[in-house]
Amino acid sequence: MLRALVRYYEILADEEDSPVPKLGYGTANISFALNIDDEGNLINLTSCKIQRGKKIVPRPMIVPEPVKGRTGTKPVPDFLFGNSSYVLGFDNKEKPERAKECFQSFKDFNISILREAGCREAEAVIKFLEKWDSEKALDNPAITEYLDEIYKGAVFIFRYYGKQEVHDIPAIKKVWEEYKNKSIDGTIQQCLVTGQKTSIQVLHPSIKGIYGGQPMGNSLVSFNARAYESYGKTKQQGLNAPVGEYAAFAYATALNALLSDLSHKLLLGDTTVVFWAETALPLYQDIFSIFMDCSELYLNDENKKYVRAKSAEKMVKEVLDGIAQGNNLDFDSFYANMVDRNIQFYVLGLSPNAARISIRFFLQGTFGSFAECIIQHYEDLSIQKQFESDMRSIPVWKILNETLSKKSDDKSVSTYLSTSLMRAILMGEGYPISLYQTILLRVHAEQDINYYKASILKACLSRKARRLKDESYKEVLALALNEESKNKAYLLGRLFAVLEKAQKDANPNINSTIRDKYFSSASTTPASTFPVLLGLAQHHISKSDYGARIDKSITEIMDKLDVDNDPFPKNLLLDEQGIFYLGFYHQRNLFYKPN
């Protein structure tokens, strides 16, 4: 996994105007620039913030590598950027001496490096730091104008006359990189990722952007207690899993870039999912993200939260529309606009665990293999909609939401279920048994089955039948009603829908039907339930204007059931219960929403 991330970093870094930092640099969210002149005077502050959706947020910028892990009492400054405590010597934490100490450390550290640069921009910053009086900071109108935002933790950089970031000046970048090279004094050992002998990273960079993670980031590789350390590696945590400084920087930079890209990141329960191809082209990520969350595909552009390539949207939409219509997909035409169907593709699921990160899954293969498995997943799900407002294609998060009780305040999804479902979708494996069982429980509890639950039951049964090479269920696992099927569980589901229709025709304003009382028992113990329901039906038919039509439907289904020679079963197994519900759903759709 780390090797794949390092490879992805190198692909991104090789791009012209690459958005990822080089070794010795990192990313920080910058709020303001301190604009200074040749004499180190503060001219003004300018905002660096950008609009993201409806919010104005700090701009992610490449800066000299941020300090990792400020855990001690001693101030540890960054180079040419920081918050007001370090850069200006004041804050609202009611510890003025601590703020002065932070500023002094920032001043000493930055001047020691900048003196080697020998350029006017460096001299301007040195003069600013030497003359800045933190006690008079609040007298400066440039500061007071933005005081509320400064107190909220704004981070600053320096600009020379408001034109160029000081940390981007070539002479200053050179002295910074020389300082970083001199500061490398770690143990030389073979890196597990690159295989090269190099200085081993002790503390790996923090990973940010994981749902539920620490605000300052979590560690992917960390050994900070005796229980986790290897024999002979006490207090040498970096040597427990020796990763070189370059590899640690590269994998963390690539992973942070993926996690910061909201258009190509998914959230399933407590698991954050990122994915990438071995290319800098975003097309593959666009296609994958739309496939996995197609909820925005049919929205107008102004209502979409994420920006993805139009070509990717068009490609995925054609596939999903074809599946919804029951068409077989021509994979050659699907890949016609692709760069390479054999390109390597990776999917990584991450969850926070205290200060560390848990790897829920890491899947790798060709993009073509993933795409074909996803398409098969949508084909398995495909069923006639109940209402026009129902989603044409069901994203993964919607499947997981259907497992939750509508009455419960706990809306957390099982981590096992979400990760198992992703593996099933992407690897073409059987869906988790718990998914099928949970949906059955929800149908029993709610005394009803909607479009989404019917789709999930059909998908689970379809995949199980395919895996076991069982053709006996094929006739009932269709898009819509199969009136020719003689599957007993399917016929019983259809019969229940007809009996409920008879009751509604007789009592159009009825609030509670036989479904509210008998749905679960009919699907589990039909022998003890259906004789009662058939007796009630004759009463309903006699009162209905459409009784003859309903009676004909009941007769046709009963003829196929042939209960005189093959009585109602005493019990239905779990698979048969799912088929019962599909029969009910298909028959009800024929009555109420023929599409």
* pLDDT over 50 (residue 112): yes
Alpha carbon distance 297, 72 (integer Å)? 49
At 594 the pLDDT is 47
* pLDDT over 60 (residue 246): yes
DSSP string, 14-83: TSTT-SSPPTTEEEEEE-EEEEE-TT--EEEEEE--EEETTEEEPEEEEEEPPPS---SSS----SSEEE
Length reported for the chain: 595
- Helix, strand, coil share of the chain (percent; to 5): 50, 15, 35
Contact criterion met (CB below 8 Å) for 247 and 254? no
20-24, 161-165, 303-307, 455-459: segment of lowest average pLDDT: 303-307
* pLDDT over 60 (residue 423): yes
- 3-state class (DSSP) for residue 306: coil
Contact criterion met (CB below 8 Å) for 404 and 411? yes
Cβ contacts of residue 297 below 8 Å, gap of 6+? 290, 313, 316, 317, 320, 393
* pLDDT over 70 (residue 232): no
- 3-state class (DSSP) for residue 233: coil
Residue 186: Cβ within 10 Å count? 16
Segment 326-344 mean pLDDT? 71
Alpha carbon distance 231, 236 (integer Å)? 10
* pLDDT over 70 (residue 188): yes
Alpha carbon distance 226, 234 (integer Å)? 7
One-letter amino acid at 300 equals N
Residue 405: Cβ within 10 Å count? 12
Q: What is the mean pLDDT of the chain?
A: 88
Alpha carbon distance 262, 139 (integer Å)? 40
Alpha carbon distance 569, 524 (integer Å)? 9
Alpha carbon distance 370, 427 (integer Å)? 7
What is the radius of gyration, based on Cα positions, of the chain?
A: 32
